[in-house]
Chain A
Amino acid sequence: MTEPSRARGVRTDPWRWPVRLGASLGILSLIALAYGLPPAPTSTDRCWARPGSCAGEVHALSLVHADPGARILTSQRFYQLPFSGHDPALDRGVLVTVEGTFDEGGVFHLHWARAHPYRPHKVALGGVGLLILLTLIASTFSLQRTPSGLRFVPRPEVGRA
């Protein structure tokens, strides 16, 4: 308890600094530990692609044309590169989620790739879910200033419901 708060008879919240500081430092440490850590390679779907051609999500067709010799394992089948057949799904803009690392020679080592139909619905649902959650929090809790800082306090009429 600090002197002024002790003088006022206000008990300092023990979670205010030690827990928040500890949790924040823990989060920063986790991010620092994971920084630069290569994703774990898997045994079945290792292949190589050119640097810059496949960071994040790319159109399967461009990856197929860019990377001769590589194989992409999708949820349905293997695509041996270059892809010589015709898969209408690829033309419709199937995306390939890829993850890998660049070596010193600038070659991108693809650790895994997964082709999947592009579903903007899922991204939109993330926004909808976030809005619902914020609405629920706002209708259930109120943000109040207390002697030991800001607190989310359950609204009395909701807390009893």
Chain B
Amino acid sequence: MPDLVTHLASALLPGVALRADRAVLLALGACLPDLGGRLPGLSLAGLRWLGLPTFGLEKLPFGVLHQPVGSGLLALLVASMLPERDRALGLLLVLSGVMTHIGLDVLQDHRGHGHALLFPFSNRRFELGLFGPEATVPWVPAIVLVTAGLWGVRWWRARRRQRSR
């Protein structure tokens, strides 16, 4: 996976055209596959490293939550936490964020060991192999600057509009 900041930016960049709460839902969706598929395993491994009992839970295949079906189910859980009137759009935004995440991940190269996009219906793995998983790291400062700059301009324009009223 590219780093989480890049995933966040991949949603916040197009999200600059949306209402702030909607952009955040898109961003949440863009991080959701890693939050479900990587964070539990890494956290449990960290606890184990600290000498705390984890009962072998870190070996559970949380990675399935990084795939489309698993992430889609997580998106349903997230959407169920939203008010009813916002739920359909919220689900759509979170799912769109998930798609940006998986879309970015599929571009990477893991020497043919890509993503089981159709799990549990197929174990076949797929990736396009265009760049390495660490390739985005050196670009993060530029990505953050561009994203923050766009959101800064948006915030400045909204403030100016408010003042002129």
Shortest A34–chain B CB gap in Å is 4
Residues of chain A with a CB closer than 8 A to B63's CB:
34
Q: Counting CB contacts under 8 A, is B8 at the interface? A: yes
Contact of B83 with A26 in the complex, beta carbons under 8 Å: no
Q: Measured between alpha carbons, how far is A160 from B22 in the docked complex, in Å?
A: 10
Q: Counting CB contacts under 8 A, is A75 at the interface? A: yes
Shortest B64–chain A CB gap in Å is 4
Q: Counting CB contacts under 8 A, is A23 at the interface? A: yes
Give the A-B pair count, Cβ closer than 8 A: 147
Q: Measured between alpha carbons, how far is A20 from B112 in the docked complex, in Å?
A: 35
Q: What is the interface of chain B mostly: helix, strand, loop, or mixed?
A: helix
Report A113-144 CB contacts with B as 1/0, cut-off 8 Å: 01011010110011011101100110011000
Q: Counting CB contacts under 8 A, is A2 at the interface? A: no
Residue from B8, B73, B124 within 8 A of A129 (CB atoms): B8
Contact of B61 with A34 in the complex, beta carbons under 8 Å: yes
Residue from B8, B39, B62 within 8 A of A31 (CB atoms): B62
Shortest A159–chain B CB gap in Å is 5
Residue from B77, B111, B120 within 8 A of A24 (CB atoms): B77
| Number of B residues with CB within 8 Å of any CB on chain A | 55
Q: Counting CB contacts under 8 A, is A152 at the interface? A: yes
Q: Measured between alpha carbons, how far is A111 from B112 in the docked complex, in Å?
A: 11
B-contacting 9-mer, from A11-19, A60-68, A82-90: A11-19
Residue from A35, A42, A125 within 8 A of B113 (CB atoms): A42
Report B75-97 CB contacts with A as 1/0, cut-off 8 Å: 01101111110110000000000
Residues of chain B with a CB closer than 8 A to A119's CB:
134, 137
Chain A minimum-CB-distance residue to B61? A34
Q: Counting CB contacts under 8 A, is A158 at the interface? A: yes
| Number of A residues with CB within 8 Å of any CB on chain B | 56
Contact of A114 with B31 in the complex, beta carbons under 8 Å: no
Given A23-B77, A125-B4, A129-B31, A136 contacting B24 (CB threshold 8 A): yes
Please name 5 further chain A to chain B contacts, defined as beta carbons within 8 Å, in addition to the given A40-B125, A140-B24, A153-B83, sorted by A numbering.
A26-B73, A31-B60, A116-B133, A130-B39, A136-B24
Q: Which residues of A contact B (CB under 8 A)?
A: 13, 15-16, 19-20, 22-24, 26-27, 29-31, 33-35, 37, 39-40, 42-45, 73, 75, 99, 111-112, 114, 116-117, 119, 121-122, 125-126, 128-130, 132-133, 136-137, 140-141, 146, 150-155, 158-161
27 contacts between A and B (CB under 8 A): A15-B79, A15-B87, A20-B77, A27-B74, A30-B65, A30-B119, A31-B65, A33-B120, A34-B61, A34-B64, A34-B120, A42-B113, A112-B112, A114-B110, A119-B134, A122-B134, A125-B140, A129-B7, A130-B35, A130-B39, A133-B27, A133-B28, A136-B24, A141-B21, A151-B83, A158-B21, A161-B20
